[in-house]
Amino acid sequence: IAKRIAKEVKDGYYVNLGIGIPTLVANFVRDDISVEFQSENGILGMGPFPFDGEEDADLINAGKQTITAL
Give me the active site residues, please.
Answer: 40
24 φ, ψ (degrees, to nearest 5): -85, -15
Mention every residue, 6+ apart, whose C-beta is less than 8 A from residue 68: 46, 47, 48, 49, 50, 54, 56, 59
